[in-house]
Amino acid sequence: MLLTAALLLAAGCDQKPAPPPAPQATTAPAPTTIKKPATGPAYVEAETDPDKREWREQEALLLKELGQPEARQGDTLTIRRDGKVVLSLTDPENEAWVLTDVITMTRDGVEQIHYEVSHHLTGQVDEPSATLFDQNGVEIETYSDWAIWRGAIAAISWSDQGYDVGSPGNNTLELHDLTKTPHRKYVFKARCNASRWISDTELKVVCSRPALQDASPGVQPNGTLENTDAVVTRVGPNAWRLRELRAPKAKLMDVENNPPTAYDETVEGVAF
């Protein structure tokens, strides 16, 4: 052992000393730097969970636009307005709160900022939802995680997947109008999901029609769905109309709300 150590020391004498480390910048970090705890379960989970890491990265971009890049500290999200805390959420174990949208909308004639925060499960089957808070941190409502906002109107969609062979599943579309109190909800029976807003009074949607296996042209590769385009249009102060742009071509499954003709459905709002 002593001989080995001596040989190693001798070999080291022939090597040039390593150059000194480059001087470190002394300027303050850019305001967009997100501080993270050096250790701790919340930090480790965010770094090792791919989904949570992606959520945090998207949230960081939104917080930068909001001008509050340091609002995320580990597992706690703290939103301020005029220097005062208006919303503070801490992740429970195996769950995550994520800021997903900052929306300016006019409600009851008053324009204000709203915060949409999604709730996720981590390390298990995720069933995400989203909660809308006003600029004072007051909870407005909770809905499925798939919402497309146009001002104070949200097109909310979700899909119930059919995991059994031959199960059609379902797609659902609702419009939630928060413009006035009481709020109004428009629920469609058609098997459609929102795609994008075209204007304040028109929404593009996609309908998924359950079709028989290998039924015919126009169905997806798995042979069980045919997708068709449709539009939802405001047709009155308290009515929206969903109209499929063509009838489906495939031979459809005989299930509820899946007619062989094109959808043409007008829905009136109900208070909620």
pLDDT (tens digit per residue) in 212-253: 876 666 666 656 889 999 999 999 999 999 999 999 998 899
- pLDDT of 164: 58
Average pLDDT over residues 121-150: 90
| Whether the Cβ atoms of residue 51 and residue 122 lie closer than 8 Å to each other | yes
The secondary structure of 144-195 as a DSSP string is ESEEEEETTEEEEEEEE---STT---EEEEEEEE-SSSSPEEEEE-SSEEEE
Instruction: Inform me whether the pLDDT recorded for 35 exceeds 80.
Output: no
pLDDT of residue 224: 81
Write out the DSSP string of 111-139.
EEEEEEEEEEESSS----EEEEEETTS-E
State the Cα–Cα distance between residues 179 and 198, nearest whole angstrom: 18
Structure tokens at 29: 């970090």
Q: Name the residue with higher pLDDT: 122 or 24.
A: 122
What share of the chain in percent tops pLDDT 70?
76
Average pLDDT of span 186-206: 98
Higher-confidence residue of 125 and 226: namely: 226
Range 192-207 average pLDDT: 98
| Range 187-193 contact pairs with CB under 8 angstroms and sequence separation of 24 or more | 187/267, 187/270, 188/232, 188/242, 188/265, 188/267, 189/257, 189/265, 190/230, 190/242, 190/244, 190/257, 190/263, 190/265, 191/257, 191/258, 192/157, 192/230, 192/242, 192/263, 193/146, 193/157, 193/158, 193/159
Q: What is the pLDDT of residue 20?
A: 42
Q: Which of 258, 195, 196 shows the shortest CA–CA distance to 226?
A: 258
39-48, 124-133, 195-204: least confidently modelled range: 39-48
Closest CA to 178 of 131, 235, 231, 140: 140
Mean pLDDT of the chain: 82
In this predicted structure, what is the pLDDT of residue 214? 64
Q: Which residue has the higher pLDDT, 80 or 127?
A: 80
What confidence tens digit (pLDDT) does each residue in 60-119 have? 999 999 999 999 999 999 999 999 999 999 999 999 999 999 999 999 999 999 999 999
pLDDT tier at 31, thresholds 50, 70, 90? very low
CB atoms within 10 A of CB 55: 21
Residues with Cβ within 8 Å of 64's Cβ and at least 6 positions away in sequence, in order, are 32
Q: Is the pLDDT of residue 37 over 50?
A: no
Confidence grade of residue 33 (pLDDT, cut at 50, 70, 90): very low
Residue 42 has pLDDT above 50, yes or no: no
- Phi, psi angles (nearest 5°) of residue 66: -75, -15
pTM of the model: 0.76
pLDDT band at 2, cuts 50/70/90?
Answer: very low
* pLDDT above 80 for 167: no
**Residue 134, pLDDT score:** 97
